[in-house]
Amino acid sequence: MVQQYIGASITRKEDERFLTGRATFADDVKLPGMLHAAFVRSPHAHARIVAIDTTAALAIPGVVAIFTYEDIADLAKPIPVRLYPLPSLEPFLQYPLAQDKVRYVGDPVAIVIADSRYVGEDALDVIDVTYEPLPAVVDIEDSLRDETIIHEAPGTNLAAHYVVSTGDIDQAFRDAEYTRKERFKTNRHTGNPLETRGMVVAYDSGELTVWGATKVPHFNREVLSSLLDFPEEKMHFVEGDVGGGFGIRGEFYPEDFLVPFAAMRLGRPVKWMEDRLEHLIAANHSRDVLCDIEIAMKKDGAILGIRAQVYGDMGGYIRTHGSLVPASTAGLLMGPYNVPAYECGVHCVITNKTGVGTFRAPGRYESCFIRERLLDMAAADLGIDPAELRFKNLIQPSQMPYNAGRTRADGDTIFDSGNYPQGLTRALDQIGYAETNPKRWVDEAGRYHGIGIATYVKNTGRGPYEGARIVISGTGDVAVYLGITTMGQGHETTMAQICADSLGVSMDAVTIYHGNTDYIPFGGGTYGSRGTVMGGNAVHLACQNMKERILSLASTYLDTEPANLVLQTGEIFRKGTEQGPALLSLGEIACLAEVPGSNEEGSGTLETTAYFEADQLTFSYGSHAAHVAVDPETGKIEIIHYVVVEDIGRAINPLMVHGQAVGGAAQGIGATLLEELVYDDSGQLLAGSFMDYLLPTSTDVPPIESIVLEEAPSPLNPLGVKGAGEGGIVATGATLANAVSNALAPLGVQITQLPISPNFIAKLLSS
Amino acid sequence: MKPARFDYYSPDSPNEALELLGQYGDDAKILAGGQSLMPMMNMRLVRPKVVIDINRIAGLSHISPRPDGGLAVGAMTRQRELERSALVLETAPLLSLAIPYIGHFQIRNRGTVGGSLAHSDPAAEIPAVCLTLDTEFELASSAGERTVKAEDFFLNHLTTALEPAELLTQIRIPQTVGNWRWGFQEVCRRDGDFALVGAATMLRLDDRGICLESRITAFGAGGTPMRMNAAENHLSGSSVNADDRSEAARLVSDALDPISDIHASAKYRQDVAGVMVRRALEQALLPMEGEDAA
């Protein structure tokens, strides 16, 4: 029996270099003559720039140059939207440097280039920017009053508004036997990859190279080409090892123009490594959503309709993710349920805060919290068990594929496959739901215990295409060049597993190359749990093509038909005699593929590129369940048991899928209990360092049980896979809020906003 | 996050350090464990012209018994050493109980007793314990030495009685063995964080369980750790029963006027300080090893 790599929990090929400290991150790139960048960032949330005096800074030895808007004025264009564009967003886009106004604390005003970052920061101390402060808008409702306008040209703070709907919502509410209306708010927080953003850029002999690229290098190269007015073919984006992405890292930010601009202007390499203080004010924030929602039901718990208004606090500018966060909140607000009628208004609201973008399960963490909390409230009102209420409404396997209707501006939401009730059942079994009666109690120490559950569905594997190029050399080595990138997901292992099985070679013969725009002409990148769905299937497709070519070459040489041959463990056998001697090795076939006249052994190449296309999304789904204990005197929450159930269709590497689930849940626990980017009324960020922005540490995260299901392979791709990157986080807010609310229900507590801090619990208990 | 330019000195002897301190005074900062100073310098929140690193001075790190049964602890003694010291456990068990609440062990490996005291974060554990244990601080300068009591040492938020030219060299902790009992409680957002609020207590009980002397300190609830006199007075002479403990908690909450920040409101700190006091008293009254749970 030939070894099956797909489905095997193989330890990661890349871990050796990570664990032995030999990985190469952006900051490890050091070039001769390299300079360092630092940024003058606005200390005001909203102000007019009156004057910038750089005289004293330029006099510091080691300060090479300072660029302000004036210096980039000839090139100045706004950074375009990559995802979820809407025409009305255009006037709210961010330019690389502030022109006459700053619109959030951290807004870049100038870039300093110096011999070292130390000297660069010395320059920041003495650059004298005169600001005329303006009133700051830090609240969605304040912003919507348009009393203070943040962008003068459009003359409003509402950057976009549209409505999605499906079914007859008015009829649903006319038929309702029960309705409930609530307001929910999710906390502004963001991803904090261990490695902050950063890059080294060199301009040499007319070629521009950017080290530190990741996520979407092909797209970013196109943007930079347009902004610098410099040909794409002369630009090389190189991805090294990356210390985490989570949606934050790798988008096109102002710095992604300014550092290359400085390197070109000065003709010397420039490094910029974001520090954590910069990261917290400059990199995208996320999740800041306000939602008014109303549900219509029958007394038996059947959902008739949901109507809602979603307001996304977008910050001072619309960034590369366009309307994505509020749009995606609306897109899956109805969740994995039969909701015959749905209507949702989506509002993109500008405020004087850092711009918003994606963070792992953007919009879906939010909508799951909103919907699942409301369902628990409705269950209590109707006297129905929360699990029973969900079973009653979950979409059944027989309904798949299920068209949930037009919940997005750009089309219908169609769930491809799934056994949603099974996903919930597994979570309930694991937490011991049936045996735990009652579902809430008080222990001897006076702590309130409660069980909470939530179900979710998450779109993954966004198209439209992804590519892979395979080159087999005369040594028989298989090189796979990916269009996707790797921020720590382990593609060097999973993609090798796919390649080995799809081609019929040993995994040891396969090497994965990723993230370099020179490897492959087009690449969509890695985001939204698309890596394995799109990149994996591209590898599979390329392998199919390659296999066909190999068998054709071999059959010609062996004077037989391709159908009589098999490729197995990197060798050609006659069909039926796979145990016997091999007829040809992969290396020998590679030599056969050479151009005529060049027969030197080992120099042959066998190459193919394939693109996998998808115009539909795959939907992972599942449920979370938690048991918590709350100390009513301090508001402290202990998570006693946490379960993540996720169906991803087919697990290429179950060990790594578990890692994704557990890591996602840990991140979600932090997001739900600890993390918040708090602003004061003047628009100052009060959680600007890790002293105040509280990430979960190993002592705050309980053991997490992850159950990976393969009940419903996706019919949309040959591998049957769905994305596995976000199921671990998506229902954490919902589940913990439900558990805490359930525990404290006797004391009249209902969580409607996050995070759930001890102070917040104490406040709810005292009111 | 790169510090502004500074000059660095690494003296070998206390006298050399005191000489430098005398010379630079306010312009100088002492580098002990660096757990607070280095981040503050990297964020340019402090910009000393001179950093005097006292890590290489011999004799500043020790835990020694004193003739009166108390303890002398050198300012450069690492927190982790206190945590693992049998002598500290025997002589000042409250300190042993409190130390594990400081950061995580990696931080305690580096953090020092003197550094924590001289930095004087109002929510820090060692200052609260020292105040509860009536600790004395030995301060040295090139002009000579003086001793300051804990109650006179902590002046305000991050402010102590240390003069610019003075170095904290050693602390003296009286022994609290025999019929003393102790409790220490704090609540934080995450394990290892500075406390949102906390309490330390020492109770000396007679054979009948009557309180001969009580000490209660609240921390994280004001500019410095604070002894709660009204609650202490209430308990002295009492049997520290449930009503007494609740009353002490109430008196503590009433006496406090804490600040709000993004992690906790003033009201939270005020209310929960009382809870911490009550729980610390309960903890102090738990049967000790070898005692019957009567």
Task: Check whether residue A361 and residue A431 sit in a common domain.
Answer: yes
- For the segment(s) B63-173, the CATH number from 3.10.250.10, 3.60.150.10, 3.90.1150.10, 3.30.465.10 is 3.30.465.10
Q: What is the pLDDT of residue A767?
A: 85
State the average pLDDT over residues A385-414: 97
Considering the domain architecture, whether residues A467 and A442 belong to the same structural domain is answered as no
Cα separation of B51 and B14, whole Å? 15
Check B104 against A758: CB less than 8 A apart: no
The reply to whether residue A121 touches residue B44, judged by beta carbons under 8 angstroms, is yes
Whole-number Å distance between alpha carbons of A533 and A459: 11
Give the Cα separation of A459 and A331 in Å (integer). 10
Count CB pairs under 8 A between chains A and B: 68
CA dist., res. A316 & res. A108, Å (int): 12
**What pLDDT sits at residue A605?**
73
Same domain (yes/no): A547, A475: yes
Residue A335 lies in a domain: yes
User: What is the share, in percent, of chain A residues with pLDDT greater than 90?
Assistant: 96
**CB distance A474 to A602 below 8 Å:** yes
Residue A396 belongs to what domain range?
Answer: 289-461+617-766
pLDDT at B208 over 50: yes
As a CATH number, domain B7-53 is: 3.30.43.10
Choice between A597 and A171, residue whose per-residue pLDDT is larger: A171
Q: Among A277, A689, A694, whose Cβ lies nearest the Cβ of B190?
A: A694
Q: Which residues of A touch B249 (CB under 8 A)?
A: none
Q: Which residues of B touch A694 (CB under 8 A)?
A: 189-190, 193
Domain ranges of chain B: 7-53, 63-173, 180-285
The alpha carbon of residue A639 is apart from the nearest alpha carbon of chain B, in Å, by: 13
Q: Is B264 on the interface with A (CB under 8 A)?
A: yes
Is there a single domain that holds both residue A468 and residue A457?
no
pLDDT digits (tens, 9 = 90+) for A638-663: 999 999 999 999 999 999 999 999 99
* pLDDT tens-digit series, residues A5-51: 999 999 999 999 999 999 999 999 999 999 999 999 999 999 999 99
Structural domain count, chain A: 3
Q: Average pLDDT, stretch B15-43? A: 96
- A interface mutation test: which of B263, B271, B286 has the most A CBs within 10 A? B263
Domain endpoint, select from A248, A282, A316: A282
pLDDT in tens, A555-569: 999 999 999 999 999
- CATH number, domain of A544, equals 3.30.365.10
* Min Cα–Cα distance to chain A from B190, Å: 6
CB A82 within 8 A of CB A29: no
Q: How far is CA A213 from CA A231, A259, A487, A525, B24, in A?
A: 18, 13, 10, 11, 47
Interface contact flag, A634 B193, Cβ < 8 Å: no
A410 and A306 fall within a common domain? yes
Please state, in angstroms and rounded to a whole number, the distance separating the CA atoms of residues A650 and A532: 10
Residue A426 and residue A474 in one domain: no
Using pLDDT thresholds of 50, 70 and 90, give the confidence band for residue A629. very high
CB contact under 8 A, B264 and A696: no
Residue window 146-165, chain B: list those with CB within 8 Å of chain A. none
Q: Report ipTM for this prediction.
A: 0.96
Residue A371 lies in a domain: yes
Which of A635, A674, A759 lies closest to B190 in CB terms? A674
CB contact under 8 A, B265 and A759: yes
Question: Which candidate from A116, A122, A674 shows the least CB-CB separation from B4?
Answer: A122
Residue of B nearest to A687 (CA): B262
Domain C-terminal end among A613, A634, A667: A613
Terminal Cα-to-Cα distance of chain B (whole angstroms): 57
One domain, residues A451 and A482 = no
Residues A442-485: pLDDT tens digits?
Answer: 999 999 999 999 999 999 999 999 999 999 998 999 999 999 99
Strands (E), A419-578: 440-442, 448-460, 465-473, 478-482, 510-513, 565-568, 571-574
A276 neighbourhood in chain B, CB within 8 Å: 1
Which of the four pLDDT bands, split at 50, 70 and 90, describes residue A593? Answer: confident
Domain stop point among A585, A613, A641? A613
| Domain identity same for A406 and A307 | yes
Span A236-255, average pLDDT: 97
Among B42, B188, B272, most A C-beta atoms within 10 A, so best to mutate, is: B272
Contact yes or no for A687 and B43 at CB 8 A: no
Question: Measuring CA to CA, which residue among A372, A248, A381 is closest to residue A320?
Answer: A248
Q: Is the minimum CB–CB distance between B256 and chain A shorter than 8 Å? A: no
Interface of A with B (CB under 8 A): 116-118, 121-122, 125, 275-277, 633-636, 674, 676, 678, 686-687, 689, 691-692, 694, 696-697, 699-700, 757-759, 762-763, 766
The DSSP code sequence of B161-214 is S--TT-EEEEEEE----SSEEEEEEEE-SSTTSPPSEEEEEEEEE-TTS-EEEE
Q: Give me the residue label for tokens 């109770």.
A: B203
- Count of CB atoms situated within 10 Å of the CB of A585: 15
- Which chain A residues are within 8 Å of B272, Cβ to Cβ? 633-634, 762
Q: Are residues A525 and A562 in the same domain?
A: yes
Give domain B180-285's CATH superfamily.
CO dehydrogenase flavoprotein, C-terminal domain (3.30.390.50)
Q: Does any domain span residue A14?
A: no
Mutation target to probe the B interface, by most B beta carbons within 10 A, among A138, A277, A633, A675 is A633
- Cβ of B5 within 8 Å of Cβ of A694? The answer is no
The reply to whether residue B192 touches residue A699, judged by beta carbons under 8 angstroms, is yes
Residue A694 to residue B187, Cβ atoms within 8 A: no
* Residue A598 scores a pLDDT above 60: no
Which chain A residues are closer than 8 Å to B264 by Cβ?
A: 758-759
